[in-house]
Amino acid sequence: MAMITYIQALRDAIREEMRRDENVFIMGEDVGIYGGAFKVTQGLLEEFGEERVKDTPISEAAIVGTAVGSALTGMRPIAEIMFADFITIAMDQLINQAAKIRYMFGGKAKVPMVLRAPQGSGTGAAAQHSQSLTALFTHIPGLKVVMPSTPYDVKGLFKAAVRDDNPVVFLEHKLLYPTKGEVPEEDYVIPLGKADVKREGTDVTIIAGSIMVPRAIEAAEKLQAEGISVEVVDPRTYVPFDVETITQSVIKTGKVIIAEDDCKNAGWGAEVAAKICESEAFDYLDAPIKRLAGLDTPIPYNPKLEKAVVPQVEDIIKAVEEMVN
């Protein structure tokens, strides 16, 4: 397997799906000539041309609206929003149209589109360019929500998203783009709705998503020196959600910490905690579920404050130590 970056794996997935299916195309602000704000689409214009790599006006509502319309006519659009924060400008098109059309037409119409966007803090981009909005989209029936943490996952999950007949919101943390991992050169697809145990352990389960996965793994490795065995589980897809893998880990360890980088109030971690409490795993809990999440505040511009409002490796270590001891 090749050792490549998250961003290269994502680019390869887009390229391979466009080669596989002529109905797949990508559009967004600066995705063509410039190659994307984070260079995800670099080189695609030269291979596929302006008909399939479309630079758009600065209008998120137009981008998502066009994606919905083209998907209804048989295309499989990939719509890039430069920062996930600006999906909010296209909420009507996404929530009231894309998410509901298949249901309202009794399955006679479908909306096979992928809305992908970078999100998350850590780049000094301040409050309007640093939010993690996963919980917003998981609340909407009709949308599938994916948040990969590794190069292997981002490629396999993106291929699954493109091939899905429903609208998929695909969220990529900006800090993960340069990270590297092994990725098969042959075609592979990771089914939506399947969590992954990133690290085996016996004392505590950490359910982590996106950027919190590598932080949780780093924390687990340091805690191993203290004799604490930590299991790290990555949901990968939040709708559909793999309850079984989560509950089996909780049954094994009896202790759970949910680590997320978005703000705590009504975050996706609250839903995961509720699912655990409603499952057979509840009877195996030896301690209350702990949610480790961002502070309920806009992301600051100041680097030290920005780091302080989102859980870091040392925060995970402290949380685990407190739970075990």
Tokens 């900006």 found at: 174
- Enter the tokens of residue 320: 């685990």
Contact in structure between 98 and 66 (CB atoms under 8 Å): no
Counting beta carbons within 10 angstroms of the beta carbon of residue 243, is it exposed (0 to 12), middle (13 to 18) or buried (19 or more)? middle
The DSSP-derived string for 247-316 is HHHHHHHS-EEEEEEEESTT-HHHHHHHHHHTSGGGGG-SS--EEEEE-SSPPPSSHHHHHHTS--HHHH
Choose the catalytic residue: 102, 116, 129, 199.
129
Measure the CA dihedral 8/98/128/35, to 10°. Answer: 30
Angle among Cα 321, 290, 236 to the nearest 5 degrees reads 105
The DSSP symbol for 280 reads: G
Kindly calculate the radius of gyration of the chain based on its CA atoms and give it in whole angstroms.
19
Q: How far apart are CA 254 and CA 320, in angstroms?
A: 13
Q: How far apart are CA 39 and CA 302, in angstroms?
A: 26
Question: Is-catalytic flag, 129?
Answer: yes
The single-letter code of the amino acid at 300 is P
Tokens 């302080």 found at: 308
Contact in structure between 44 and 95 (CB atoms under 8 Å): no
Q: How many CA atoms lie within 13 A of 311 on its CB side?
A: 30
275: nearest Cα among 124, 138, 112, 83: 138
Could you give the 3-state DSSP secondary structure of residue 145? strand
161: nearest Cα among 132, 193, 133, 129: 193
The DSSP-derived string for 26-43 is EEETTSSSS--TTSTTTT
Active-site positions? 129
